[in-house]
Amino acid sequence: MPTEVRPASPDQARLLRELLDAGLLISSGVPGVYGHGEAFERVREGLDELLSREARERGAIKLRFPPVLPRHQLESTGYLGNFPHLAGSIFSFEGTEAQAAEQAERAASHEDWSEFQSQTEVTLMPAACYPVYPAIAARGRLAPGGVFVDAGGSWVFRHEPSLDPARRQIFHQHELVRIGEPAAVLEWRAEWAQRGLELLRSFGLDAHLDTANDPFFGRRGRMLAANQRAADLKLELLVPIAGPEPTACASFNHHLEHFGQTFGIELADGTTAHTACLGFGHERIVLALLRTHGLDPEAWPAALRSRLWDRLA
C-alpha cells in the first residue's frame, strides 16, 4: 500500500515551487527528499560551523557518527515502540543467482521486489543523539561534571513524506548532548533553550519558545505526549516559514535517566546519569532565513551574510 503523503497548504506549495525554480532545492521525485543547490548548501554549512563553534567555546567535545545506527541500539532505545511509523530499516539482498535475476527483472519493470530483501544489522538514523549515549557509556564512569558533546549536523531519517518543503524525510539535525548530574543537565537545557532563542532572533527570525511533545504513535502515544507536556520535558523553537502554523526549527529534550539506564552511563559516584539534547534543524532554519530575507543570500543584511555566507566564500 502506498504511503500517504501529507498535503501542502497553498503557501507551502508556492514556496516549494519558488525554491525549486531558484535552484535552491533539487527535486528527487519523492516527496520530502531534496538535493541542495549551491546557495542553499553554503548557508547550511555556515550554520553548521557556527553552531559547532558556539558549542566548542562552551566546552563541548566533538564526536561524529555515520547516518546509520546499529539495529540493536535502535531496539534498545524504545524508538520502535514509540515511533514505529517514523523508523527506517535497511534491507539488502542475500539470495541466489536465480533470485538476483528475478529481482532485477521485477525492478526493471518497477514491480515489487521486496521479497528478495532481508533486514540488515543497521537502520537509518532517526535522531542524531542516539549513537552518543553508547559511545560515552563505553568510556566508563563520567568525571565529575559530566560531559557536553557536539555531535554535529548529521543526516537523520523520518518516514513522513510531505509536500511541505519544511517537512523532510531526510534532513540534517545538529545535535548537542549533555550527560551528567540531574541539576546540571536541567540547567544546561534551560541555558541552551535561551541561547537558541537569542541566536535565531539574531538572524532576524521571529522565533519563540514553547512547550511541545513528540509525535508518539497510537492511543498509548497520546498519554505519553500528555505526560511529556505536563513534565515540561520537550521545548521547541517555533519560527514562521510557510504556515499555517509556525514550524519547529529546534527542540530541547530532557530525557531524565532513560538513556543513562538504557546504556549504563554512570556518574562519578556510580549513580545513573541524566541526559538532555537539543537538535537544530538545519534545513528548516535555512528555509526560515530564505523566507524572511529573500531567496538570494547575496542580498541579505550585511551582518547576517558575514555570519552565514561571506566567511565560507
Is the domain of 292 the same as that of 177? Answer: yes
Give SS3 for 311.
helix
57 pLDDT tier (thresholds 50, 70, 90)? very high
pLDDT of residue 90 exceeding 70:
yes
In the prediction, which pLDDT does 312 show?
58
In the prediction, which pLDDT does 243 show?
81
**Of 80, 103, 125, which marks where a domain is finished?**
125
Pair 249, 285: CB distance under 8 Å: yes
Is the domain of 148 the same as that of 297? Answer: yes
225 pLDDT tier (thresholds 50, 70, 90)? confident
What is the edge-to-edge ordering of all strands in the sheet holding 208-211? 61-62, 147-157, 170-180, 274-281, 247-256, 234-239, 208-211
- Chain segment 94-103, per-residue pLDDT in tens: 999 999 999 9
Is the domain of 137 the same as that of 228? Answer: yes
pLDDT of residue 297 exceeding 70:
yes
In the prediction, which pLDDT does 53 show?
97
311 pLDDT tier (thresholds 50, 70, 90)? low
Is the domain of 62 the same as that of 177? Answer: yes
Q: Which domain range does residue 106 map to?
A: 90-125
For residues 222-229, average pLDDT: 87
Is the domain of 259 the same as that of 112? Answer: no
Query: Is residue 233 situated within a structural domain?
Result: yes
Query: Is residue 111 situated within a structural domain?
Result: yes
pLDDT of residue 230 exceeding 90:
no
CA–CA gap between residue 168 and residue 64 (Å, rounded): 22
CA–CA gap between residue 237 and residue 207 (Å, rounded): 6
Query: Is residue 139 situated within a structural domain?
Result: yes
Domain count, the chain: 2
Is the domain of 21 the same as that of 143? Answer: yes
Q: Which helix (H) or strand (E) holds 26?
A: strand 25-27
For residues 180-187, average pLDDT: 97
Is the domain of 193 the same as that of 259? Answer: yes
pLDDT of residue 244 exceeding 60:
yes
Query: Is residue 1 situated within a structural domain?
Result: no
Number of Cβ within a 10 Å radius of residue 6:
14
Q: Which CATH number goes with the domain that contains 260?
A: 3.30.930.10
pTM (two decimals): 0.96
For residues 60-81, average pLDDT: 97
Q: Which one-letter amino acid corresponds to residue 197?
A: L
β-bridge mates for residue 55, sequence order = none
Task: Give percent of the chain above pLDDT 90.
Answer: 90
Q: What average pLDDT is seen over the chain?
A: 96
For residues 23-37, average pLDDT: 98
Please enumerate in sequence order all residues whose Cβ is within 8 A of that of 235, keeping only pairs 6 or more positions apart, or say none. Answer: 189, 193, 209, 210, 211, 212, 251, 252, 253
Distance of CA 25 to the CA centre of its chain: 18
Per-position DSSP letters for 49-115, written without gaps between them: HHHHHHHHTTTPEE----SEEEHHHHHHHTHHHH-TTT--EEEEE---HHHHHHHHHHHHTT---GG
Is the domain of 60 the same as that of 116? Answer: no
Query: Is residue 4 situated within a structural domain?
Result: no
For residues 265-278, average pLDDT: 98
In the prediction, which pLDDT does 313 show?
56
